[in-house]
Chain A
């Protein structure tokens, strides 16, 4: 069983997201440790990008903060940070990145590096199934898993996408970009059912989830939940002092996911 699948084994997973380098790489390292201590079962680390087209304002601003800090936030710097934090945490770590930084770094070099520093998978929002073959082949060689996204509009694509899915399936709860939503109108249960027909790969629901009620609701339907913008908002508010606040929030949320 892959390390990612273990995170879903006999429990509901709570997945936390943050943007690397916001407000600094040292702090990102600290916040990742806090999330694990607070009960996160997997952590997604956003590699900052100049034009994150799938993100709402909260994560867009985190990308700007990370890239505009003194010295910037390069892929190499993120790798160094992950290498350090890997020695402190045992939960699976997954990168969320746009394709261009990976393309520029080189697919082979990127996957090799992920494998060396202990990154278990990656999510690339602007790389749909049709364009993923080349990178996925290389990733498989290094035991790094490409996380598949399934959206409310996937419909007849669900079967194809779910069949090839590794690690976990990132089920996008809503139309649009990332960010908190008071209401999720998609019939998540229906999509989960369709996915389950073709695969036993665990399903985590993300986009818009920020409240205890939503965690309860969606972890009951799926195998886990992903919370991003709500955590990034705490970082935006408290900056370097966000550690304890993240701990409290993740503890409260993750305890609800383990029903």
Chain B
């Protein structure tokens, strides 16, 4: 009962058909995470293929313009495939190979996890199938083609809201059909144990690097660390090594869509309630009857009705704060960081940038903020243009 729990959250709420597979995955992971050869191989891939360590960049112009705390960006957008997703995918794909699997499947929202998974599959010689909500295949058409270029088969999911939640449903269904040769490479710190732990461990490289980098550059810890949160993988990676540093504020930025007082929102902490779904106990956007809500955000990667169980516990224990950021605020931030720093950040990451713009001016000049730029925004350019009324299609 207590396995894979974060406070009361987490657990393993999945069909019996998957139980043995999930137990085998846990066993394999516990073995390989201590295996020197595995770690050497993974670290080499992260360094030589993904381009780690990622830079910790001092955003001097933004710092001066906002007139408060010093702002640093952890540049996960500069990784190979353009987001933090590659950190986890290389780990899980390598694990799949060690487990003797020949095929990996994954869900994707914005397409970043799908692209990363297709990339790892190409590199490691695994068969790859990606499940993506039909709505998202339209919003992120370029990423669909990218995945196909990389040799993956993309299945547009036509059920429910046709977004990330439904892609997860379909991917879980697919996994129950075929477990022998297949590993579900989950993209976020969610789902049944051991996924939230595995994904967090593979993503924690972000904060391990950032913590050492800031100590080297500034000789002290940051005052606040920020990241956007959908399921919460880049945020968990960005927070993890700072959890023990109690002076560091941890701030997760959720997608409020058109506002938390409207139905068009995906801000789980701000509007959700406790529930059990997608393999885990956590907070979910749902109605009073426990039906999962059709959520909305301009960002396909944050358009998810739940949040990972470890985040739910960081919220319960007040170790981390979670703030809602609207579409408007995120788009403003997307444009602001492009103009000010010459960085086109993902619309997901722009949710965290928006919060940086709010809090930096309220902080002292000797204080430090680190914000995770989880991905690059090339994929979002056409959607932002449309948001601004420019009729641009890819």
Which A residues are within 8 Å of any B CB, using their own CB? Answer: 49-51, 53-54, 56, 60, 67, 72, 74-75, 99-105, 125-131, 133-134, 149-157, 161, 172, 175-177
Contacts and interface: CB of A to CB of B under 8 A. Distances in A.
Contacts of B179: 153, 175
A101 B15 contact: no
A74 B18 CA distance: 29
Contacts of A176: 17, 173, 176-178
A51 B15 contact: no
Given A125-B15, A155-B20, A130 B173 contact: no
Given A100-B290, A128-B15, 17 more contacts: A49-B291, A51-B166, A53-B278, A54-B173, A74-B289, A75-B290, A99-B276, A101-B290, A125-B15, A133-B1, A150-B16, A151-B15, A154-B20, A175-B179, A176-B17, A176-B177, A177-B177
B contact patch SS: mixed
Interface residues of B, number: 38
B367 interface: no
A175 B13 contact: no
A157 B166 CA distance: 30
A104 B286 contact: yes
Given A51-B160, A154-B19, A128 B173 contact: no
A138 B13 CA distance: 18
Contacts of A126: 13-15, 276, 279
21 contacts: A51-B166, A51-B169, A54-B15, A74-B289, A100-B277, A102-B290, A103-B275, A104-B286, A104-B288, A126-B276, A126-B279, A129-B19, A131-B12, A149-B15, A150-B16, A156-B20, A172-B17, A176-B17, A176-B178, A177-B176, A177-B177
B281 to A, nearest CB: 8
Nearest to A54: B15
B11 interface: yes
Please name the 7 residue pairs, one residue from A and one from B, whose CB atoms are nearest each other, closest first. A104-B290, A176-B177, A101-B290, A151-B17, A50-B291, A100-B290, A151-B16
A127 B289 contact: no
Contacts of B15: 53-54, 125-126, 128, 149, 151
